[in-house]
Structure 1
Amino acid sequence: MTGLQNNHLIKVQGSINPRKRKHNRVRTGCFTCRKRKKKCDERQPDCIACVRNKLKCVYPTKENEKVPSDFVLEQQEYHEPLNFKKRRHSFAAPKDEQAPQDLFGVIVLNKYTGPQVSSPPSSEDSSSSSSSSDSQEDFITTFNGDANALIPVEYQTPIDPSIPSIWSQSSLLSFGRYIPNVELSIEDSELYSHCAKNYMSMVALPHAHPSLCPANVWIRLASHSPILADVYLSCGATYLACVHNENNALSQKYHRLAESKYNSAVQSLTEAFNNGSVDLDSDWLMVAGLNLCLRDRAYGMNGSRCSKHIVFVYNLICRRVDKKAADSLATPEERLLMESFIFNYTTALMTCSRYDMIRLPTPYELFSKLNKWLVNPIVKNYDVEWVNNPVLGSALAIFQVMAKLCYLLRCHFEQKIPDDNDRCYLNDGKFWSLILPLKEEIRNIEVKNFERIQELDASKVYGQWYFSLRSNLAVSIITVNACKILIEKLINPSIPAFLPQIQESVQSTLHELDLYIPSDNYSSSVSFLSLFICGSAIINRAQEVLFSEGLANLENDLSKYVAIDVVKVLQRSWERERMERITLGDKGFKSFDLVFDRSTLESFAF
């Protein structure tokens, strides 16, 4: 183990760290949540989780009462809308003209005729260049470096009655962070509510400035297009399908709804392209593509399906970048979109088919276009510089290395018959000229991460904000470990997983996963590709248990499908390797070779 790694492990493991993340056990709340090993909000008489999942809510009759050994979950219908509010909401139309804020801003009315806006917003108001209610300079000054000042900016979007409806039973007038005068069917209202309140919060990264979280930036863009609104309804249905994965009937119901809304959005978008009614420079168009990618990924679709959305968004980014002046800056919203694209691009590059890979840009092309837009700070005068990267944070640089390694893997090892005319083939000379410099890049980022840990521990940041920053550092550290493992495998494909340089990275990954990747936020999802690579190099049952339990305990509903897929694939591989070692010895199957197994990698998305 290197001196750098030694110092780090001694610092973290050899002393009592008052900031170490606690492993919460479900010991309070209703029996139903405790049986399901879920957090309970302890609302009386029925907790929100039980209402949401249509389960009978049973509370203990005395303090510290354990869950009975014979306790079983029971279905129960609740006669109230699934709006997750603590008070009941009426579905009756309001008598006055002031619209209520039910269902996270969605008004459920069948015949609501509230006051109309006299005139639609000007084209200047709805242009992509002014999509934010605050200018970039105003945005920068909203954050003064104080962790206590992390307060989301609330956006108000004016109603535009000229926006057409795409539903036969309801109309969509406007979506904003808070939304007046929206008329939706009850079904669509439920889907939107869950998208805005739950789906968007679950794809948000905890280290980012709240004003750059999807709930603040993406939701308000739905007022710009009914097509994006349909995408959000599909995302809401996907969230509910994931939440109800233990109830097959409900899960299938919401899955069908999700696909229906998905197809509606794609059809509407195709028609809009054909008749030339789409502004290709609109922020909402990129948001639609990225959310479709996140939605497909959350529901276990494969990398090729996700890559089609990535190609679509890349073309929009190229169009926008080509129009920018050389000295212009990316807006905060554009930074969010570009980083989300980089994350989705990197994972798709590893899992899509070769046909889809040909349509993707090479990482060298991509980052030469984007890097100059990713260097200027969004938040000024703040010590933690990676807050300026709203999606990847401290992992932005190492994700670029990971993308390059995935590209080198596929272009050098995948083509069975060498063809120098194939743009996706790299001969030996090109391969070695590109891969060797990456070792130094990885080393530099590893040193930088160590310095960041020291700076963070020496800072006066405590509590939840510390863990939000530290969890993002864990993502970067895990990705560094995966890159170190993958580059060794590419340089020497027959290298055994038990070598010290491989196992040091595996142990470091398990350490970060156990202590610093929270089970209830999206940091784990950003790490799935790296976790898979590290998991393929696991060599004993103790490591298998730590890895499997770390992913099995994830509480983020949008991460569960991917986590389940990763664990299933690796567990089958570990077991196969054990069995073939008995019969075939060293000639048997090796889990470490999974990084070259295209049929497995193309079966799911990270």
Structure 2
Amino acid sequence: MGACAVKGVVPKSSLNEFQLQKKQTSTFVFVYGNKRRKRDTQSVKRTESEKVSVKPVERASRQDQLDDAIFRKYVASLCSQSALLGFVYGFPGLISPKDAYIYDAFVNGFMVAVSTQLTHERLQPGAVFIPHGAANPWLLDVFYACGAAFLAASRKDMRELAESRMAKVMGQFQQVVTCVSFDSDNKWLVVALLSLALREKFYGLDGHRTVLFLKIAFQLIRNWPKTKLANSKHLEGLPEDIRSVISEQTWLLTPIERTLVESFAYNYSVIGLVLDQKSQFLLDSPFEVFDELQPLLDQQLYRCPAPWMNNPVMGAALPAFELASKAGWLQLHYPFDESMRHQAIALFRLAKYFVPPVLPPDVRFNQPKHVCKRLLDSCHAARIVAQGAYILLYKLLYPETLETESDIQRRISNFISDLEQLSFHSSISGILTWPFSIIGTAIVEKSQRDYMLWRLHNFGCAIKNSCFDSIIEFLNRTWDEGLGWQALLDKTNFDKLFI
């Protein structure tokens, strides 16, 4: 059982070609990434029986596949190290080979799939989430539910198990939440709620349930003493130099807190796309939420080659996801009244002139190419998310405009160019489901549509995430029915989509 639970640990000898490196210019440990390869531009026609044009895996660059796999194995080794901490204290409820198998799927499958960034290893989601399961039987049941969902995403025979494990968790949910004090150290519950929100991306269709998880998680986070201090009004009256000293001493986040805050912010940012207008009242406005979280999200806990390596979930795309969150919120209020229209115009300008981060010169010239590639992936992700926000806001503000508009198609071309930069099985695709869904509706050229579907299919295969199949179905339906870009104006078009 123990051997099964630590399956996926990568011996150092197997990483010789991708040796972890420590540069003199930084205290951060790096892992090999991947090299850029040009895509095969030949498109494959879709048939009635096969909506998705899937190119054989053999056509993709074997080096890209190897590089992506090695990165995931590196993350898996970090996750397994975190899992070992639990066995030191004794895992409650780990009593059968089936439990061990599902737990292994959680550690070396689920947590690896949701770890998309090259970040400081103490900020990695696996290093934050996994150890908490050692002390709480219900949280361990949550981990089992997530592991089973990861397996069910690609195995139909595991779906009954995934549903039963989730039913067990939800059967105790109300009692667990009711008994928790919102003013105590409740980070384990935030871990549970965010894990459940992420679980829905692998095997779930209940967006409203995800909203419940996020609503409670935010209530817990905003009651942390450090969150209250970060937003306390008395700091505003102090001189800047004194204020910064007091702030650093009194509400500097721990790595665990920093990762949890950003994980919440990401899940909160994308959920609005799949909600209807009635659901908007369940969550606070992102115009308020991000103001409240900004002092926490701005904190850089470690000295890293690129500042966005302190953003363990969204990386360089963190500010772009704020745009996306607000754009999705405005979509819930379409058609606009005068006040909403002014907000949309202001946000539209920010999205239009969004400038993504670039690699600092000392990183480009001093760090290994594989490190630069992973950091550049994050920059491409930032551009893709910002493009999605721009395209959504454009349609909401100018609903009569056709997707053939030159500005829109120019941005589609830019998007395809950024997508080409991402390798075949790029892990960062896991956070790009929101812009993929938005931008895909405005694609009109068949070759670009075929390429988009091919990339979505292979991203989903790589990280075992069912939401990519959901996006493929959504886009095929949108294109086949002739809706295209018009789909963004009617929220009912998103009823069967989950991201």
- 1:4-50 C-alpha deviation (Å, 9 max, x unpaired): xxxxxxxxxxxxxx9524669xxxxxxxxx988699x9xxxxxxx9x
Q: How many aligned positions are there?
A: 418
Unaligned runs of 5+ in 2: 1-33, 41-54, 63-68, 74-78, 231-246
Tell me the CA shift for residue 597 of structure 1: 2.6
SS at match of 1:554: helix
Pair 348,280 (structure 1): closer, same or farther in 2 beyond 3 Å? farther
* Residue pairs, 1:279-290, within 5 angstroms: 281-290=185-194
Equivalent residue for 2:216? Answer: 312
1:271 aligns with 2:175: yes
> After superposition, where does 1:533-544 map in structure 2 within 5 Å?
533-544=438-449
Residues 597 and 558 of structure 1: is their aligned pair in 2 closer, same or farther, counting only changes over 3 Å?
farther
C-alpha separation between the residues in 1 aligned to 2:180 and 2:390? Answer: 47
**Equivalent AA in structure 2 for residue 412 of structure 1:** Y
- 1:569 is matched with which residue? 474
Distance verdict in 2 for CA 1:405–1:555, change over 3 Å? closer
Matched, 1:387 2:316: no
Instruction: Give SS of 1:297's match.
Output: coil
Q: Distance in 1 between matches of 2:360 and 2:390?
A: 22
**How far did residue 479 of structure 1 move?**
0.8
Map of 1:377 onto structure 2: 300
1:354 alignment partner, one of 255, 265, 277: 277
CA contact (8 A) 1:304 1:351 kept: no
> Distance in 2 between the 1:560 and 1:540 partners?
26
- How far apart are the structure 2 equivalents of 1:498 and 1:22? 26
Q: Which amino acid letter does the alignment assign opposite residue 407 of structure 1? A: W
Task: Write out aligned runs for 1:570-585 (5 A).
Answer: 570-577=475-482
Would the aligned equivalents of 1:482 and 1:534 in 2 still touch at CA under 8 Å?
Answer: yes
- C-alpha contact (below 8 Å) 1:408/1:435 kept by paired residues: yes
Which one of 408, 417, 434 corresponds to residue 502 of structure 1? Answer: 408
Q: Which amino acid aligns with 2:321?
A: F
What displacement does 1:492 show? Answer: 0.5
Give the counterpart of 1:431 among 317, 340, 354: 340
Residues 104 and 147 in structure 2, CA contact (< 8 A), matched pair in contact too: yes
Alignment equivalent of 1:200, drawn from 76, 90, 111: 111
SS of residue in 1 equivalent to 2:279? helix
Matches within 5 A, 1:490-569: 490-516=396-422, 518-554=423-459, 556-558=461-463, 560-569=465-474
Question: Residues of 1 paired with 2:386 and 2:145: CA distance?
Answer: 34
Give the letter for the 2:150 counterpart: Y
Q: Alignment partner for residue 484 of structure 1, among 366, 390, 403?
A: 390
Cα distance in 2, alignment partners of residues 439 and 291 from structure 1: 32
Query: How far does the alpha carbon of each residue in 1:93-118 deviate from its partner, in whole angstroms, 9 at most, with x for none?
Result: xxxxxxxxxxx97xxxxxxxxxxxxx
TM-score, structure 2 normalization: 0.76
- Aligned residue among 351, 373, 378 for 1:442: 351
Aligned-partner SS, 1:347: helix
Cα pair distance change 1:258/1:239, threshold 3 Å? same
CA distance in 2, matches of 1:183, 1:576: 49
Matches within 5 A, 1:206-285: 206-244=117-155, 251-252=156-157, 254-275=158-179, 281-285=185-189
**Letter of the aligned partner of 2:343 in structure 1?**
L
Higher helix share: 2
Secondary structure of the residue aligned to 2:145 is helix
C-alpha offsets along residues 125-160 of structure 1, whole Å, 9 cap, x if unaligned? xxxxxxxxxxxxxxxxxxxxxxxxxxx889745855
How far residue 456 of structure 1 moved from its aligned partner, in angstroms, is 8.1
1:329 matched residue in structure 2: 252
Question: What is the CA-CA distance between 1:237 and the residue it aligns to?
Answer: 0.9
Partner of 2:45: none
Q: Distance in 2 between matches of 1:440 and 1:369?
A: 23
Task: State the TM-score, normalized to the length of structure 1.
Answer: 0.63
The amino acid that maps onto 1:194 is A
Superposition pairs of residues 140-179 of structure 1, within 5 angstroms: 156=85, 173-174=90-91
TM superposition shift of 1:444: 4.6
| Partner SS state of residue 299, structure 1 | coil
Q: CA deviation at 1:271?
A: 2.4
User: Please, what is the CA RMSD of the aligned residues?
Assistant: 3.1
Letter in 2 for 1:386: W
2:308 is paired with a residue whose SS is helix
